[in-house]
A and B are shown apart, each in its own frame.
Chain A
Amino acid sequence: MINQFAEDYSDQPVVFIDYRYSMADPPEYPTPEFRWEIIRATEEGLGLTWAVVDSGRMYNRGAETIEEAEEAFTEMLESALARPAEAEMHALWERVGDSVNVIVTVKNNSTITLSLANNAAVHAIVKEPNTVRPNHTTINPGLDSGRAIIESLAPGETGTFSITVPNLDPINWDNVQVVVLVDYQVEPGSHYDQLQARFASEVKNRLYLPSVLRP
């Protein structure tokens, strides 16, 4: 059903990312740690399918029926689409072996200081769209993610962050996409919220400037 939502919203600025969760004890594989930590902050316990927008500002867990899920997901998406971006982001990524290196600039246009106190971070999520992978329930699998913690970024300030996501195993590297986002915890013990997200642009042919032109 989430695949159908992805198709229905394909002409809108929405990206769908699906993580796998092992029900085995002990787990047979990990769920991307940093994103799972944020999704779990929405509610205690476990209930799948667990879906969030805006890093958990709105979520739905364990819908009993397709109708219930459709109603909840539509409300979540429409609510998120109606909000303005509260940060400006630019990002580049480069493949190095089986890793992805990402560099992100974030301008904080919100009224909130992003800091260690509110667990603010820049995340880079690697996905391989239109792919069927074992244990993923949609064709938009998120392979893994990394993050850079924000020590302090006051309203109006711009920061640059680098993130490495290692040990990736996409079926086809040519299909890989990298999504970056910036989020923070609304208050201790509560959910997170997201200021902005962007697709990072891939750097394939790095340009080496002569030393006299380097900043």
Chain B
Amino acid sequence: MKFTKNMLALIIVSLLVSLAGATLPVQAQENTTQERLVVFESVGSDT
């Protein structure tokens, strides 16, 4: 019985840790400035 409870607790803790792990990088991304993409446009002559 005690073993079952421990297993249940372990599963819950694992779930919480994985959820936290999944959430933190997203929060970190939101705080990161997006890299600038430079667009070089040219118009050439066909002759």
- A residues adjacent to B (C-beta < 8 A): 2, 5, 12-23, 31, 35-36, 39, 48-55, 73, 76-77, 80-81, 83-85, 88-89, 125, 135-138, 142, 179, 181, 194, 196-199
Q: Is the CB of A48 within 8 A of B38?
A: no
Q: Is the CB of B41 within 8 A of A51?
A: yes
B47 within 8 A of A: yes
Please name the residue on chain A nearest to B42 by beta carbon.
A51
- CB-CB under 8 A from A36, the residues of chain B are 43
B1 within 8 A of A: no
With A14-B40, A51-B40, A77-B40 as contacts: A23 and B35 at CB distance below 8 Å:
no
- B residues adjacent to A (C-beta < 8 A): 33-47
- CB-CB under 8 A from B37, the residues of chain A are 13-15, 85, 179, 196-199
Contacting residue for A196 out of B36, B41, B45, CB 8 A: B36
- CB-CB under 8 A from B41, the residues of chain A are 17-19, 35, 39, 51-53, 55, 142
Q: Is the CB of B39 within 8 A of A181?
A: yes
Q: Is the CB of A48 within 8 A of B44?
A: yes
Docked complex Cα distance between A165 and B25 (Å): 35
Please name the residue on chain A nearest to B35 by beta carbon.
A13
- CB-CB under 8 A from B46, the residues of chain A are 20-23, 135, 137
- CB-CB under 8 A from B38, the residues of chain A are 12-15, 53-54, 77, 80-81, 197
Minimum distance in angstroms from B18 CB to a CB of chain A:
23
Q: Is the CB of B39 within 8 A of A179?
A: yes
- CB-CB under 8 A from A52, the residues of chain B are 40-42
Q: Is the CB of A85 within 8 A of B35?
A: yes
Please name 21 pairs of A and B residues whose Cβ atoms are closer than 8 Å in the assembled complex, sorted by A. A13-B35, A13-B37, A14-B40, A15-B37, A16-B42, A18-B41, A20-B46, A22-B46, A49-B45, A50-B43, A55-B41, A76-B40, A83-B36, A84-B36, A85-B33, A137-B42, A137-B44, A142-B41, A196-B36, A198-B37, A199-B37
- CB-CB under 8 A from B44, the residues of chain A are 2, 18-21, 48-49, 136-138
With A85-B34, A196-B34 as contacts: A31 and B43 at CB distance below 8 Å:
yes
Docked complex Cα distance between A89 and B35 (Å): 10
